Amino acid sequence: MKTTLDTSEKPVTIASLLIDFKEITKAGLAISVVFSSIVGYLLGVSEEFPFSWLTFVLLAIGGYCMVGASNVFNQIIEKDLDALMDRTKNRPLPSGRLSKQNAFVMGTVLTLVGLAILYSINPKTAMFGAISIFLYTSVYTPLKTITPLSVFVGAFPGAIPFMLGWVAATNNFGIEAGTLFLIQFFWQFPHFWAIGWFLYKDYEKAGFFMLPTGKQDKKTALQTILYTIWLIIASLLPVSGFTGELQLSFVAAGVVLLLGLWMLYFAVKLYKEMDEKAARKLMLVSVSYISLLQLVYVIDKFLR
């Protein structure tokens, strides 16, 4: 009996492994999250808590490990659902390039290494990192197919990185870290509802509930506007003088306000146009908004 070898499978190479690692840890997202933590760290350093390159590097590496681990466990849980959606069906797990067992080992190693690195900075940083990964994988991910409240729950781990940097710098969670948390917390809603809007049909295939009403309707668009307004208010709190060491000059506050109005304009545009194009634009603007806001905060601190 004659047998033939299947040569259609692509050989496993270092390059392919790196690509799979990049995809399963969602490198783009992870790097943006690490950026938030680094900004929080820079905002927290002072004469009392001087800048340390070692802490800076450890925070970046540990932060990536924790975010990467969260994404790995998320994709393990959602492997079968990811296979149903066009944008996720070619990920390493649903495509079969990576097994669940290997992914679990990877996620576990990233978790342990990340926690150890963050603990070496200080215990509070490790604690918040652990809370983040627990909420993301054990609460937010399962709720995505059950209730639109999953976005509310997911906003908690999503808001931790910004304030995590402050905690890494100061070993303290106070009004300053709480304000940074609040800013990124409110930002999550217009950002993820915009994503949920323009990917509505794809999410529907997997049974994900990402919009507050479950529909692309005026109520969802109105809530997007309202949370954008809350975001603007939260982002201006440091100019009030009631946020401890976290301060903002009037000039920087003016820039932050303009950034907020820029994002609000596109939230209102979504309400008026009610289409996927407007939602995608709001999502892109929201990504630019949070990065620019963080840069303004840092630049203002070191120019004052």
13 belongs to a structural domain:
no
Q: Determine the Cα–Cα distance for residues 209 and 21; give it in Å rounded to an integer.
A: 27
Same domain, 77 and 212: no
Which tens digit of pLDDT belongs to each residue from 162-182?
999 999 999 999 999 999 999
Which tens digit of pLDDT belongs to each residue from 259-286?
999 999 999 999 999 999 999 999 999 9
Sign of CA dihedral 178, 180, 181, 183: positive
Which tens digit of pLDDT belongs to each residue from 181-207?
999 999 999 999 999 999 999 999 989
68 belongs to a structural domain:
yes
pLDDT for residue 12: 63
8 belongs to a structural domain:
no
Same domain, 153 and 31: yes
Q: Is the pLDDT of residue 26 over 80?
A: yes
pLDDT for residue 238: 97
The CA-based dihedral angle spanning residues 255, 259, 264, 266, taken in that order and rounded to the nearest 10 degrees: 140
Is residue 297 within a helix (H) or strand (E), and if so which, with residue range? helix 276-303
Same domain, 53 and 120: yes
Enter the DSSP assignment of 12. P
Same domain, 148 and 164: yes
Q: Determine the Cα–Cα distance for residues 71 and 30; give it in Å rounded to an integer.
A: 9
3-state helix, strand, coil in the chain (%, to 5): 75, 0, 25
pTM of the model as a whole: 0.90
1 belongs to a structural domain:
no
- If pLDDT is split at 50, 70 and 90, which confidence band does 18 have? confident
Q: Determine the Cα–Cα distance for residues 85 and 54; give it in Å rounded to an integer.
A: 41
pLDDT for residue 1: 42
Which distant-in-sequence residues (6+ apart) come within 8 Å of 101 by Cβ? none
Grouping H, G, I as helix, E, B as strand and the rest as coil, residue 209 is coil
pLDDT for residue 57: 97
Q: Which of 85-89, 230-234, 290-294 has the lowest mean pLDDT?
A: 85-89
Same domain, 285 and 180: yes
52 belongs to a structural domain:
yes
133 belongs to a structural domain:
yes
Q: CATH no. for residue 95?
A: 1.10.357.140
The HSE-up count of residue 146 (CA atoms within 13 Å, CB side) is 9
Q: Determine the Cα–Cα distance for residues 304 and 299; give it in Å rounded to an integer.
A: 9
Q: What is the 3-state secondary structure (H, E, C) of 227-251?
A: HHHHHHHHHCHHHHCCCCCCCCCHH
The CA-atom distances, in angstroms, between 31 and each of 54, 56, 110, 263 are 18, 14, 15, 22
Cα–chain center distance at 122: 22
Average pLDDT over residues 43-55: 95
Which tens digit of pLDDT belongs to each residue from 87-142?
899 999 999 998 999 999 999 999 999 999 999 999 999 999 999 999 999 999 99
- If pLDDT is split at 50, 70 and 90, which confidence band does 15 have? confident
- If pLDDT is split at 50, 70 and 90, which confidence band does 209 have? confident
Same domain, 132 and 228: no
pLDDT for residue 59: 97
Same domain, 61 and 137: yes
Same domain, 75 and 148: yes
Which of 119, 142, 173 corresponds to the end of one domain?
173
Q: Determine the Cα–Cα distance for residues 92 and 68; give it in Å rounded to an integer.
A: 14
State the residue range of the domain holding 161: 20-173
2 belongs to a structural domain:
no
Q: Is the pLDDT of residue 5 over 80?
A: no
Same domain, 76 and 212: no
CA angle (105, 111, 115) in 5-degree steps = 150
Which of 173, 188, 220 corresponds to the end of one domain?
173
Q: Determine the Cα–Cα distance for residues 79 and 84; give it in Å rounded to an integer.
A: 9
> How long a stretch of residues is the chain?
304
Determine what percent of the chain is predicted with pLDDT higher than 90: 87
Which tens digit of pLDDT belongs to each residue from 55-101?
999 999 999 999 999 999 999 999 999 999 998 999 999 999 989 99
pLDDT for residue 4: 43
pLDDT for residue 14: 78
CA angle (161, 167, 171) in 5-degree steps = 160
Domain count, the chain: 2
Nearest residue to 144 via CA among 96, 95, 75, 72: 75
pLDDT, greater one: 284 or 7: 284
Same domain, 128 and 233: no
Same domain, 200 and 154: no
pLDDT for residue 61: 97
297 belongs to a structural domain:
yes
Q: Determine the Cα–Cα distance for residues 162 and 63; give it in Å rounded to an integer.
A: 11
Same domain, 42 and 164: yes
Is residue 54 within a helix (H) or strand (E), and if so which, with residue range? helix 53-77
Which residue has tokens 């820039």? 255
- If pLDDT is split at 50, 70 and 90, which confidence band does 2 have? very low
DSSP labels, 92-105: TTTTTSS-HHHHHH
pLDDT for residue 11: 59
Which of 173, 204, 232 corresponds to the end of one domain?
173
